[in-house]
């Protein structure tokens, strides 16, 4: 008697194992990163997100935050997690051009939004975004952990107000905490970005 289904080739079998393993890993990573065990009945649903101008299909749990999805499902680890409770701004991304704490919005609510992360700012030819370039030239970061969030807030600010005063820039970045205290250097960077255009 032949026990092996001839349609299940070795290649198909291995591809299946890899695919199921990858899915289990990304899902497990999310729960581990959030200090949770998978709740009974927490069914992930496939949704479509617009991230950095690309359509991304991803399985998302009902209680999953955008920061977790970006980092642990889509590999966009430029979005940092600091407090994970809407206090520090490390996770700031743009949603329809508005700086948004990605740790404090559910991914399922983002289905119609245009999401931008720090990975999406670089131009196709590799040039840095003017804000990134200005932050480099102004030596704005120290440890750099808050930098992606500061960048995204600055980009959002300059889209809404391309020529801010220093005080307006201060207010624009007020939601981003810097443990290194590099606030003035970030403001220098924003004002330099205004000149770079």
For residue 37, the 8-state DSSP code is P
* Residue number with CB closer to ligand FES (75 or 86): 86
How many CB atoms lie under 10 A from the CB of residue 136?
13
Cα angle 95, 101, 103 (rounded to 5 degrees) comes to 115
Nearest to ligand FES of 61, 90 (CB atom): 90
What is the closest distance, in whole angstroms, from the C-beta atom of residue 81 to ligand FES in the complex? 5
Give the residues lining the site for ligand FES (CB under 6 A).
81-84, 86-91, 101, 103, 141-146, 178-180, 182
Which residues make Cβ contacts (< 8 Å) with residue 56, sequence separation at least 6?
A: 48, 49, 50, 74
Question: Residue 183 is encoded by which pair of tokens?
Answer: 């606030």
From the CB of 122, what's the least distance to ligand FES, in Å? 20
Least distance (Å) between residue 129 CB and ligand FES:
18
Q: Select 21 or 144, whichever has its Cβ closest to ligand FES.
A: 144
Residue 164, both tokens: 């801010």
Question: How far apart are CB 196 and ligand FES at their closest, in Å?
Answer: 21
Structure tokens at 16: 């299946």
Q: 149, 179 in Cβ contact below 8 A? A: no
Write down the least CB distance from residue 190 to ligand FES, Å: 14
* Terminal C-alpha separation, the chain: 74
Q: Nearer Cβ to ligand FES, position 53 or 153?
A: 153
**Closer Cβ to ligand FES, 101 or 129, answer by number:** 101
């Amino acid at each position: 008697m032949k026990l092996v289904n001839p349609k299940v080739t070795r290649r198909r079998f291995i591809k299946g194992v890899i695919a199921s393993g990858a899915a289990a890993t990304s899902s497990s990573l999310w729960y581990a990163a959030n200090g949770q065990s998978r709740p009974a009945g927490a069914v992930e649903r496939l949704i479509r997100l617009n991230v950095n101008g690309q359509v991304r299909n991803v399985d998302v749990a009902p209680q999953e935050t955008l920061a977790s999805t970006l980092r642990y499902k889509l590999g966009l680890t430029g979005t940092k997690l600091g407090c994970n409770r809407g206090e520090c701004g490390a996770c700031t991304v743009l949603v329809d051009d508005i700086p948004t704490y990605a740790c404090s919005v559910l991914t399922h609510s983002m289905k119609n939004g245009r999401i931008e992360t720090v990975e999406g700012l670089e131009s196709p030819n590799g040039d840095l975004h003017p804000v990134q370039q200005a932050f480099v030239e102004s030596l704005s970061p120290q440890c750099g952990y808050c930098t992606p969030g500061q960048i995204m807030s600055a980009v959002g600010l300059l889209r809404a107000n391309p020529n801010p005063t220093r005080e307006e820039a201060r207010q624009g970045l007020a939601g981003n905490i810097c443990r290194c205290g590099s606030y003035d250097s970030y403001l220098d960077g924003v004002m330099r970005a205004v000149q770079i255009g």
